[in-house]
């Protein structure tokens, strides 16, 4: 009798665990997925140590909406078009596995180019207004002296970008965005591997879009925090970024 009850208890716990895993998988695949920001390529918008929730239904679904990107189709279902300025999480075209987050700058058919340090979309100069001088921004293990600008995209969307004070990117080739692809860049313009690097990222196929970043739900400075000096960990928490909308 005891053995039977013990077996039943194990079975019931197993069912509960499997059910919870299925629910978690559905939420992660179809609704929201958490992501961690490990690099400074999106500063000042996203900082190293930010934890964000990404909407998985913002652009519809593809094989990359699911864990391990099962190759059941190369199409998107319930597809929705992203807009300029969106913070997009995508799988890098080079391996279709690594998750990147960048800002959507170019739509299919657009031309993108930097001329004398200014961004041009479809041969029209993008307005940018300087808001701050000599702001220190991270780039790997280094700090860059940068100027901060408010940039206004053709659809009127405004966002912050930073450019190195000295040695910033000045001129590039003309990038022509193919059909069904997008051009994405980091807000930290001189410290971001993005669509400008055709050999590693390049133009991003619509199938590779994972979702749109919506909110920062937690943030701590993982560069400054030190587990050895655990009594200082509370100083790394960025309380002003909790539940910040993006």
Taking a C-beta distance cutoff of 8 angstroms, is the pair 94, 200 a contact? yes
* pLDDT at residue 243, rounded to an integer: 93
Beta bridge partners of 87: 103
Q: What's the chain's length in residues?
A: 246
The H-or-E segment that residue 183 falls in is: strand 181-185
Q: Which of 56, 63, 91, 102 is catalytic?
A: 102
Taking a C-beta distance cutoff of 8 angstroms, is the pair 180, 206 a contact? yes
39 is catalytic: no
**3-state SS, residue 194:** coil
Mean confidence (pLDDT) of the chain: 89
Cis-peptide into 44, omega within 30 deg: yes
102 is catalytic: yes
How many Å apart are CA 141 and CA 64, to the nearest integer? 31
Q: What is the pLDDT of residues 129-156, one digit of tens each?
A: 999 777 888 888 888 899 999 999 999 9
Q: What is the pLDDT of residues 107-126, one digit of tens each?
A: 999 999 999 999 999 999 99
**3-state SS, residue 23:** helix
Taking a C-beta distance cutoff of 8 angstroms, is the pair 162, 137 a contact? yes
User: Above 90 in pLDDT, residue 167?
Assistant: no
Q: What is the pLDDT of residues 171-200, one digit of tens each?
A: 999 999 999 999 999 999 999 999 999 998
Percent of the chain, pLDDT > 70?
Answer: 92
Taking a C-beta distance cutoff of 8 angstroms, is the pair 197, 169 a contact? no
Matching residue, tokens 């990038």? 175
How many Å apart are CA 131 and CA 170, to the nearest integer? 20
End-to-end CA distance of the chain: 57
Beta bridge partners of 150: 129, 160
The H-or-E segment that residue 171 falls in is: none
Q: What are phi and psi of 7, to 5 degrees?
A: -65, -40
Give the lowest-confidence range in 4-13, 115-124, 177-186, 206-215. 4-13
The angle at the Cα of 158, spanning 154 to 162, to the nearest 5 degrees, equals: 110
**3-state SS, residue 36:** strand
Higher pLDDT, 231 or 188: 188
Q: Categorize the per-residue pLDDT at 234 as very low, low, confident or very high, splitting at 50, 70 and 90.
A: low
Q: Which of 40, 41, 65, 192 is catalytic?
A: 41
Q: Categorize the per-residue pLDDT at 233 as very low, low, confident or very high, splitting at 50, 70 and 90.
A: low
Q: What is the dihedral of CA 29, 35, 41, 45, to 10 degrees?
A: 100
Q: pTM of the entire structure?
A: 0.88
Q: Domains in the chain, ordered, with CATH?
A: 2-245 (2.10.109.10)
Q: Categorize the per-residue pLDDT at 208 as very low, low, confident or very high, splitting at 50, 70 and 90.
A: very high
């Amino acid at each position: 009798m005891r053995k039977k009850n013990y077996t039943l208890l194990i079975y019931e716990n197993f069912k509960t665990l499997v059910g919870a895993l299925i629910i978690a998988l559905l939420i992660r695949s179809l609704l929201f997925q958490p992501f961690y920001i490990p690099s400074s390529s999106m500063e000042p918008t996203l900082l190293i140590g930010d934890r964000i929730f990404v909407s998985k239904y913002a652009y519809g679904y593809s094989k990359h909406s699911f864990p391990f990107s099962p190759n059941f189709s190369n199409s998107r279902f319930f597809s929705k078009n992203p807009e300029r300025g969106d913070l997009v999480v995508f799988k890098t075209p080079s391996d279709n596995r690594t998750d990147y987050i960048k800002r959507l700058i170019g739509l299919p058919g657009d031309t993108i180019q930097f001329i004398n340090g200014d961004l041009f979309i479809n041969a029209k100069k993008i307005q940018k207004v300087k808001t701050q001088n000599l702001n220190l921004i991270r780039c790997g293990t280094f700090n860059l002296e940068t100027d901060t600008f408010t940039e206004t995209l053709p659809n009127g969307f405004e966002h912050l970008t930073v450019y190195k004070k000295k040695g910033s990117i000045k001129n590039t080739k003309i990038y022509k965005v193919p059909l069904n692809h997008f051009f994405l860049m980091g807000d930290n313009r001189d410290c971001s591997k993005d669509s400008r690097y055709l050999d590693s990222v390049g133009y991003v196929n619509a199938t590779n879009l994972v979702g749109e970043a919506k909110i920062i739900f937690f943030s701590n400075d993982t560069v400054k925090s030190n587990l050895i000096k655990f009594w200082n960990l509370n100083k790394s928490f960025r309380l002003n970024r909790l539940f910040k909308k993006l």
